[in-house]
Structure 1
């Protein structure tokens, strides 16, 4: 008997060829997107590092780790991680209070805490935070960022505390318009912002090159050509800048202040990353973010950055948006952007020394203004004043104190507002000369205790009373005790009181 071998069907060969062509096409999209994200990330990494008071190279190190390490991990597909403007204030405060050596320990501790939160499933709970608190967080960060970065533009060092920043404004305005460095800094900042605004209005084919990079390039060129008296970025060796954490550095963890910083970094970085994930997921049709896996990925990246003594990272909306809009298809684009950052800092670091600090200040002022969301805040004030109050309270507290206190204050206000609205209580009273009937609807909680007491005390004295609590959805201990005490006092005055408790039908 002859056995006939089956040949491979042509369709199989065709599908394999189609798969290869499709992968090549996807790689092309990801390669192009990675270059766009790299060009957006480079000036922001440098600017955030300088604003935080650390060498510029440490910002790029964080960008590299965010691209290569976090980019390879599961969680989100399109989200790009790196140093974030929102953590600038925290980093500067940590360095001022504990020194640069403690930064690595704080970032490492925050990363390990993020990993623990992700593994225990806490990541999904970050979606339960009020949007008004989130907007207030971003607005507060924007205010602090703007208030701090106008000082480098004016040619002065940034004060370390909010009070000093406000107190120094008269001196800043004087220096900005009377000193050579101040006038040059203001001029270069204006040129940077105008260049970015004009670039954004050009046709799409020109805007492949990101506006921040164009603004920085124009400002650096003008500073060099005209020899403007502006301070520029100081560039050192990448390996020489890295400050690897040693076992002796962990002695700082025994300080409650350092432990508080670790908790603050972990909470703020996690919240910013997961809020960003929710926004980015609405921009594309690909796989959605797995929140707990993303929290583990962010924690791993921060742990690596902590070991290297670099800046903390979060997922950042600006770079993530650029990644989606540039046509990225897979996480390869964010990994490649980290590779481009690594190649740049190894081969062309001298180019950074041409960038004036005033230009980076302008970039961060622009970022702070976008975080403020003035239009959204105005709409909220018109439409929902209670939510606007929570937003303004959160932002104002952040400006006056710090991020953690501001966020916790906003969350507490949101919880109180929600509890007040949910605990609506209706007290219906009917009475004649001999009998009174009280009927309670809704939720009887301690928040409505004054209302309940007032209505019961206003009830005229009768020979009998009936309190119907069966319609209540909830009766807490405080209200229950108040009603029992009221009934006991009535009985002492020879009034028959009957209580119908919730659930009694």
Structure 2
């Protein structure tokens, strides 16, 4: 990174890339903060820390960190339940936990989380964002639960078409989405301006020049927005509900960061990400954000990909993007106050749509239908319950699915010339396959000598062994030779 200071060409390229990332990050930092129910400045503070602090730490060279749409729903729920004062304590605890996990070399293990769970998590977040921000686009207070948000859509539509103020605000948001969609189809020179910035700037210009009466972002000032956690907030971290939120923050932020790192590494030929160091860097960043009372951070794929595509050469580009954010907040804070909330809501509705893996569903259904079920259940659970419960349910379902897939067993019954019947079991005999095994065995006659051959079993769990022994002890009728069981060798059964 420091070598770039001695190479004018590299320094110039990194500076240009940092400006592109800054222009992408600016509207997203503000939008994520507003959607999370916190002052807009807190999103910018997280972006600044992500650039100046995390950007200077080892881990990933090109990945850019800041507030992410993926945590918006969880932050909103946490602020609503525990209050804004507790947000800093929760984010601080999240950072400390990430530091512990990084020191224990857990970074690589986050890649073991099922991709279907991650996609389901992002899809669930996307759906909640879409349905929630539709209300903000119309200037209407959104319902609390995901189900209420969905159920209230017909009533929202009525409000939009019967209330001129709601219709005006919704038109601004819809226009913002239209610009975001169309921008990618414009000539390459026009696309030098990031789509989110162009969409928000155009929406702001329309509302200002047209004198439209729409709600704008409230500006409090950087010093007033910073709220370090107090002693009471820190002592409240021992509560079960708060600990659950900290764990959810840690799991989702870390998983999103490390999955983003894997995606960014595929975009360039430079140094690969060191996952444990990146987790440590995220821990430091979140700890600093927690002390400042700001939003939690993750690595963000939109900003990271913009950084790579802009031709960044070193980590200097992501550090400079944080410096531009800081200068903007210090020199032009009032510029935030003219941004219409409906425009930011439109940006997040568009971001929510991009979180739903629509293109991957059809091929995934053809090849791995069970993965689609895990994805769908995770997404629906997040919408209907909460982020934490949905992710936990998705992980449990993925574990069960994996156990089911690996516990394949084959049971063959044959009759020998002397009338003896032999049932041969091959594969992994676990409790998940026990109903089928017992159903086949119980259909065997009770007045014939029977042998159960388990020598071909690679794994025999305790539940299955106990059930088979119980069946063998009681199956044959009195006067008939007892069922003979040939157990697998110990070392084979333990595989």
Alignment pair present for 1:215 and 2:215: no
Deviation at 1:354, TM superposition (A): 1.4
Structure 2 partner of 1:88: 72
Alignment pair present for 1:309 and 2:293: yes
Q: How far apart are the structure 2 equivalents of 1:186 and 1:397?
A: 28
Pick the aligned partner of 1:132 from 116, 121, 126: 116
Pick the aligned partner of 2:209 from 225, 230, 239: 225
Deviation at 1:491, TM superposition (A): 8.1
Pick the aligned partner of 1:434 from 378, 403, 419: 419
Deviation at 1:195, TM superposition (A): 2.0
Alignment pair present for 1:399 and 2:388: no
Pick the aligned partner of 1:474 from 441, 445, 459: 459
Alignment pair present for 1:495 and 2:474: no
2:378–2:394 contact (8 Å) kept in structure 1:
yes
Structure 1 partner of 2:57: 73
Q: How far apart are the structure 1 equivalents of 2:256 and 2:348?
A: 17
Q: How far apart are the structure 1 equivalents of 2:348 and 2:376?
A: 21
Deviation at 1:194, TM superposition (A): 2.1
Q: CA RMSD in A?
A: 1.8
Structure 2 partner of 1:370: 354
Q: How far apart are the structure 2 equivalents of 1:427 and 1:378?
A: 34
Alignment pair present for 1:453 and 2:465: no
Deviation at 1:239, TM superposition (A): 1.0
Structure 2 partner of 1:115: 99
Q: How far apart are the structure 1 equivalents of 2:238 and 2:424?
A: 57
Q: How far apart are the structure 2 equivalents of 1:87 and 1:237?
A: 24
Structure 1 partner of 2:450: 465
TM-superposition CA deviations, 1:428-461 (whole Å, max 9, x none): 1112563111211101111111111112111223
Can you give the 5+ residue segments of structure 1 that lack an aligned partner in the other structure? 1-18
TM-superposition CA deviations, 1:244-289 (whole Å, max 9, x none): 2232321321322111111111111111111111111111111111
Deviation at 1:403, TM superposition (A): 1.2
Deviation at 1:350, TM superposition (A): 1.3
**SS of 2:214's equivalent?**
coil
Question: Structure 1-normalised TM-score?
Answer: 0.93
Structure 2 partner of 1:355: 339
Structure 2 partner of 1:247: 231
- After TM superposition, the structure 1 stretch with the greater mean CA deviation from structure 2, 338-347 or 255-264, is 255-264
**SS of 1:469's equivalent?**
strand
Deviation at 1:462, TM superposition (A): 4.8
Q: How far apart are the structure 2 equivalents of 1:68 and 1:453?
A: 63
2:4–2:314 contact (8 Å) kept in structure 1:
no
Q: How far apart are the structure 2 equivalents of 1:159 and 1:131?
A: 30
Q: How far apart are the structure 2 equivalents of 1:81 and 1:324?
A: 14
Q: How far apart are the structure 2 equivalents of 1:309 and 1:343?
A: 20
2:59–2:274 contact (8 Å) kept in structure 1:
yes
Deviation at 1:315, TM superposition (A): 0.6
Q: How far apart are the structure 1 equivalents of 2:246 and 2:371?
A: 29
Can you give the 5+ residue segments of structure 2 that lack an aligned partner in the other structure? none
- After TM superposition, the structure 1 stretch with the greater mean CA deviation from structure 2, 21-30 or 72-81, is 21-30
Pick the aligned partner of 1:414 from 398, 408, 426: 398
TM-superposition CA deviations, 1:270-321 (whole Å, max 9, x none): 1111111111111111111111111111111111001000011111111111
Q: How far apart are the structure 2 equivalents of 1:304 and 1:402?
A: 27
Q: How far apart are the structure 2 equivalents of 1:134 and 1:295?
A: 17
Q: How far apart are the structure 1 equivalents of 2:32 and 2:336?
A: 14
Deviation at 1:21, TM superposition (A): 10
Gap change, CA 1:326 and 1:251, over 3 Å in 2 = same
Alignment pair present for 1:483 and 2:465: no
Gap change, CA 1:102 and 1:22, over 3 Å in 2 = closer
Deviation at 1:406, TM superposition (A): 0.8
Alignment pair present for 1:386 and 2:370: yes
Question: Structure 2-normalised TM-score?
Answer: 0.95
Aligned length: 487
1:48–1:84 contact (8 Å) kept in structure 2:
yes
Is the radius of gyration larger for structure 1 or structure 2?
Answer: 1
TM-superposition CA deviations, 1:302-341 (whole Å, max 9, x none): 1100100001111111111111111111111110000000
1:491–1:497 contact (8 Å) kept in structure 2:
no
Q: How far apart are the structure 2 equivalents of 1:503 and 1:345?
A: 70
Gap change, CA 1:492 and 1:281, over 3 Å in 2 = farther
**SS of 1:288's equivalent?**
coil
Alignment pair present for 1:345 and 2:329: yes
Deviation at 1:118, TM superposition (A): 0.9
Structure 2 partner of 1:101: 85
Deviation at 1:499, TM superposition (A): 2.4
TM-superposition CA deviations, 1:120-148 (whole Å, max 9, x none): 11111111111111111110010000011
Deviation at 1:496, TM superposition (A): 4.5
Q: How far apart are the structure 1 equivalents of 2:362 and 2:213?
A: 40
Structure 1 partner of 2:158: 174
Gap change, CA 1:493 and 1:49, over 3 Å in 2 = farther
